[in-house]
Amino acid sequence: MFIDEAEILIRSGKGGNGMVHFHREKFVPRGGPDGGDGGRGGDVIFEVRTTLNTLSSFRHVTRYIAKDGGSGGSNNKSGKSADDLIILVPPGTVIYDAVSHDLIGDLTNPGQRLPLGKGGRGGRGNQHFATASRQAPRTAEKGEPGEEKKLKLELKLIADIGIIGVPNAGKSTLLAALTNANPKVASYPFTTIEPNLGVAKIDDEKSVVMADIPGLIEGAHLGAGLGHDFLRHIQRTRVLIHLLNGESEDPLADFSQINSELALFDPGLAKKPQIVALNKIDQPEVLENWSKIEKAMKKRKIEIMGISAMARTGVRELLLKAAEKLQETPDLEDMAAVLPVYRPKEDARDFVITRVGGNAWRLSGAAIERAAKMTYWEHEGAVRRFQKIMETLGVDTALRKAGAIDGDTVIIGEFELEWKD
């Protein structure tokens, strides 16, 4: 089954905890601090693998969590850093933030990588907190938490030439006639419920990738039928073969409808080069109307070809014409060169103070919540260090202005602290 959309959760690894430890050795009763640092948590990285062509694996596994870094040890031993978690995706995968719907990345090239969850750094051991006046510090850091994101993945087929048209126009039959594809073919609407890919040979040295895009219906740009699913695949193609059903009541109306749907979904789609062909020209009633349809298209300054995909009449000429147009059309923009990188919209140091009761305040903010998670609350030195962080960020001043007084409760993430002015 073709799967072209999925939602997943990713979480990078937490950094390992730093250690509070003092050197112990015979005849050395007062050894110095030698608590080791924690190891780095694993990153989460997406990588393009050309052997994949669907997002089907994400149907069964929706949570991807990298390993945590190892904790620091005695004798200045650092914890082991965790391996990165590599998530393989097919070329043409577009990644969005599932909450904000912001575009994060567009993966098109073989081997292309996109890091999306940075592993937390390891906490520092107490060896780093020794000073001339504090030679036996009982202070260390816990590892930095990993990053968690909910992502939406979409797959857009990458093809040189896309075959579009209303349902039952004969697109699958044409693809089968031109390539090595073996799509399902039948004479009823929506035979094709997923895009098909095939490779068409131009000559001994050249070939093109072709995609049969399932039939569009009126309202596709609004999601009618499977509209959005189909239209997103057309965005990847460079040239379109617009196949008209010769047995339709009004092929010209079909032509206008499809182009309207393309433009309404994405104005850029309407600008793609099109080769227009009337299919089923081998049928007497279609042949009878051919001159009238050709004349009407010429009035619109549109060249049209007559073919029969079933009888394979004119299909080779159609392919060569599309290949010629392909040579004239510039390559799609190199998405890797302008790959969007996710950036937080707000400064991570920003915080928000909310009163949650008569004597309670909630303090929210990326930096302050991360610092709270990295603090050893049982060690007085670590608590003092956290207080300095609050002063640096301006939390103390902001709480006073908000009206906090001695004895009030300040909630930071999962921690509840007593406010001392």
SS3 content of the chain, % helix, strand, coil (to 5): 25, 25, 50
Residue 194 to residues 220, 224, 245, Cα–Cα distance (Å): 15, 15, 20
Nearest residue to 196 via CA among 211, 186, 209: 211
Tally the residues of the chain: 421
Whether residue 246 is found in the same domain as residue 271: yes
Whether residues 121 and 220 share a domain: the answer is no
Q: Let me know whether 187 and 263 are in one domain.
A: yes
Edge to edge, what strands does the sheet with 5-11 contain? 63-65, 5-11, 148-155, 93-97, 103-107
Closest residue by Cα to residue 290 from 251, 240, 253: 251
- CA–CA distance from 12 to each of 58, 96, 180, 369 (Å)? 18, 17, 42, 17
Q: Residue 340 domain-assigned?
A: no
Domain check: are 271 and 170 in the same one?
yes
Arithmetic mean of pLDDT over the chain: 81
Closest CA to 248 of 207, 201, 312, 293: 293
Helix axes 380-393, 366-373, angle to 10 degrees: 170
CATH code, domain with 308: 3.40.50.300
Q: Say which amino acid occupies 166.
A: V
Residues 45 and 124 in one domain: yes
Whether residue 339 lies inside any domain: the answer is no
56, 129: one domain: yes
Do 294 and 171 fall within a single domain?
Answer: yes
At residue 220, the pLDDT reads: 38
Q: First and final CA of the chain: distance in angstroms?
A: 63
Query: Domain span at residue 175?
Result: 161-328
Alpha helices for 65-186 (secondary structure H): 171-178
Clarify whether residues 150 and 9 are in a common domain: yes
What is the distance between the alpha carbons of residues 318 and 305, in angstroms, rounded to a whole number?
8
The answer to whether position 336 is within a domain reads no
What is the distance between the alpha carbons of residues 161 and 329, in angstroms, rounded to a whole number? 11
> Structurally, how many domains does the chain consist of?
3
Q: Are residues 303 and 410 in the same domain?
A: no
Give the pLDDT of residue 331: 65
Residues of the chain with pLDDT under 70: 1-4, 28-29, 157-158, 180-195, 214-233, 264-267, 331-349, 421
CATH code of residue 356: 3.30.300.350
Please tell me the pTM assigned to this model: 0.59
CATH number of domain containing 136:
2.70.210.12
The backbone region for 43, taken as left when phi is positive above 0, alpha when psi lies in -120 to 50, beta otherwise, is beta
C-alpha atoms less than 13 angstroms from C-alpha of 296 in its C-beta half-sphere: 13
SS3 category, 245: strand
Whether residues 273 and 223 share a domain: the answer is yes
Residue 278: its pLDDT value, please? 95
* Tokens representing residue 220 in the block: 């596709």
d(CA 296, CA 290): 10
**315 within 8 A of 307, measured Cβ to Cβ:** yes
Nearest C-alpha neighbor of 233 from the set 323, 180, 162, 325: 162
Are 278 and 243 in the same domain? Answer: yes
User: Which residues on adjacent β-strands are paired with residue 212?
Assistant: 163, 196
Q: Residue 263 is encoded by which pair of tokens? A: 């433009």
Domain identity same for 289 and 237: yes
